[in-house]
Amino acid sequence: MSESRSGDRDPAVRGSAEVERPQGATAARPAARPALRDRLVPAPAQGFGVTFAQMFRTVTTEQYPFEPKVTKPRYHGRHVLNRHPDGLEKCVGCELCAWACPADAIYVEGGDNTEDARFSPGERYGAVYQINYLRCIFCGLCIEACPTRSLTMSNDFELADDNRRDLIYTKEQLMAPLLPGMEQPPHPMRLGDDEKDYYLREPEVRS
């Protein structure tokens, strides 16, 4: 038997792959008419009306950078590596922040403390610490992963630069400044004989 043409096949035999498509307007199904406008004002006049309405509202332009913008207290800005009250670094070089970073923007190299050169209360410290702000997405996962609360985020958001190399911040740029009573590391531990005296000590009572 000769095969029947594809157009003469039974619709039940065609299968679900073939779908009948409408052939346009018919007597039983007339063509759809364009929707009537519900407004008598022309569309261009409506657009100009929105423009003129905005012209008489209060101006909300911020005079930046002459008037710096005030951010929220928990704003995610530039990172800061904090210190203990005696000046020793809180970072112990564990690299958990680098592992938690989804953008691979943090690079850490740990170093060993010695009695002659002590930078942190623990056995190790962050010898090399870099954050590439060309990759950083300011998600805050790094500060959540830090076990010593060494890494926090400040309100500083002015990080624009015209040189890609300058947007890779080093440890010296990220370290918190020395406050009164702090001593520049390396130096021996001042707050106790063990690292537990630093991380588990009683909070200071302020008068």
pLDDT at 204 over 80: no
Numbered residues of the known binding site: 91, 94, 97, 101, 136, 139, 142, 146
pLDDT of residue 1: 47
24 band by pLDDT with thresholds 50, 70 and 90 = low
Per domain, the residue ranges of the chain are: 79-185
8 A C-beta contact, residue 87 and residue 178: yes
Q: Torsion angle, CA of 129/133/136/139, rounded to 10 degrees?
A: 90
Whether the per-residue pLDDT at 203 is higher than 60: the answer is no
Domain 79-185 of CATH type 3.30.70.3270: yes
Known binding residues for [4Fe-4S] cluster: 91, 94, 97, 101, 136, 139, 142, 146
